[in-house]
Amino acid sequence: MTAEEQRLKANNTRTIPLEQWGPYLSERQWGTVREDYSENGDAWNYVPFSHAHARAYRWGEDGLGGISDFFGNLCFCVALWNGKDTILKERLFGLGNNEGNHGEDVKELYYYLENLPTHYYMQMLYKYPQQASP
Give SS3 for 12: helix
What is the residue range of 78's domain?
20-127
> What pLDDT sits at residue 107?
73
Please indicate, yes or no, if residue 7 is contained in any of the structural domains: no
Can you tell me the distance from the alpha carbon of 68 to that of 24, in angstroms, rounded to the nearest whole number? 6
Q: What's the whole-model pTM score?
A: 0.70
| DSSP tally for the chain: helices H, then strands E | 3, 7
With vertex at residue 134, the alpha carbon angle to CA 128 and CA 48, rounded to the nearest 5 degrees, is: 100
- Tell me, rounded to whole angstroms, the distance of Cα 74 from its chain centroid: 13
> What pLDDT sits at residue 100?
62
Please indicate, yes or no, if residue 132 is contained in any of the structural domains: no
Q: How does DSSP classify residue 33? A: G
Please indicate, yes or no, if residue 8 is contained in any of the structural domains: no
Number of domains into which the chain is organized: 1
- For each successive 10 residues of the chain (134 residues), what is the average pLDDT? 87 74 82 80 77 78 88 89 87 72 71 87 89 74
Please indicate, yes or no, if residue 14 is contained in any of the structural domains: no
The Cβ-side half-sphere exposure at 47, using a 13 Å CA radius, reads 20
Q: Are strands 105-106 and 21-22 parallel, antiparallel or unpaired?
A: unpaired
> What pLDDT sits at residue 18?
67
> What pLDDT sits at residue 125?
93
> What pLDDT sits at residue 44?
73
> What pLDDT sits at residue 61?
85
